[in-house]
Structure 1
């Protein structure tokens, strides 16, 4: 039933589709206007070819270079490789099933798209010494420059496995 909805009109079409698919129920849909994103999950070459899972690809590339982060940066700063991540929004569909306050069905729906979020390596920025990321345990946070005037670099990083040796 969900696959039959046109993506651009899914919000408007969801209520009628649910009501048609489940006769006897009167669904209501509420969308959430707070988009979310998930961790980088893939590396994509400049020509669109998938290079693989983000973490596995970084680990493999670093292993080939003996864990040398500077060599990794040099190798990948001009090649046009980007990392992809999932971005999405949520919608909730619900319908009463009886007279009580707890008599209802609620469905939580996530609608995600894959986006090319940025370069694997920013060619205009040389990273500082990596530090263990507090927001992503097991990963090193390599600060990247933000495109704003703010000097705070804490929101931009490339995730690299903490198990790699950086010398």
Structure 2
């Protein structure tokens, strides 16, 4: 595959304002809307890294740490933290800002696994990633542990599907 790329080359920020149609009855951003933002930026980061089409293979738990209120700006940041042969781990961080007070809160974090695909929809190799900052190095160094957890979770999900009479 082509040469390695720096994490910063896949860095994306999506910025939106939370409007009334985006909120639940509590005046906070719908979780599903935020999850769509998360998948969107992860996909862009992965495509930017691989320069190929990608599909979402998994989403680790989305940890909602702080509510995002109507009228807040929401910044959804992502970048590729680690790569396998055809897969990429993408870290996503969500920050909300009260535009009137300037207060910012870390509201959610998640890891997604994206797979690069060729023109036939088959997995295709991706460049390795090079971490530079302390945050990038920390995420890179802990990626194998997260990948092992994902593999165990996927195996369990396949087993569970079989108990429901489905085969993968």
> What TM-score do the two structures reach when normalised by structure 2?
0.25
Question: Whose helix fraction is larger, Structure 1's or Structure 2's?
Answer: 2
> What TM-score do the two structures reach when normalised by structure 1?
0.25
Q: Which has the higher contact order (CA 8 A, sep 6+)?
A: 2
